Amino acid sequence: MFAQFLIPKIVIAGNGAGVGMALGASQGGLLQLTLGIEKVKEQQSVEVHLEGSVDGETWIEKPLAAFPQKFYVGNSVIVCQLGAHPEIAFVRASWKANRWGRGVLKPSFELYLFAEALASAALDFK
């Protein structure tokens, strides 16, 4: 079962992308994504996306999932349904950080992103 840090706990200071990870048996399933932001400066934001690839080299332009723009410390969880993209065999995280205001305009976030496969359960409504 897929369970990986797509972004290990790091300090980001600009835009970037993580390493691609093979989905294996979790291809076409559900992924729970947990974004943890542990340190921030004021007047900045970060956007974190999940990107997909068929071959691990060429990444599709539209993200598979995206967290809403974040400004503060805390944890957020979203679920990505990969069934809409059964051809996707690899995933990676990408992020865009922005800072505004006075002083040094270099953003700084300490964060991580953990992804784990969820078992999908069929619900029977009778």
CATH of the domain at 23: 2.60.120
pLDDT for the residue numbered 121: 54
- Separation between Cα atoms, residue 46 and residue 19, nearest integer Å: 18
- Would you say residue 126 lies in a domain? no
- Would you say residue 69 lies in a domain? yes
pLDDT for the residue numbered 120: 62
- Would you say residue 51 lies in a domain? yes
Domain total of the chain: 1
pLDDT for the residue numbered 105: 87
- Would you say residue 123 lies in a domain? no
pLDDT for the residue numbered 124: 43
pLDDT for the residue numbered 41: 87
Domain that holds residue 51: 3-118
Residue type, 125: F
Consecutive 10-residue runs of the chain (126 residues): their mean pLDDT?
Answer: 93 95 94 96 95 96 96 97 94 96 89 91 46
Exposed/middle/buried for residue 52 (C-beta within 10 Å: 0-12, 13-18, 19+): buried
pLDDT for the residue numbered 104: 83
Instruction: Look up the pTM and report it.
Output: 0.90
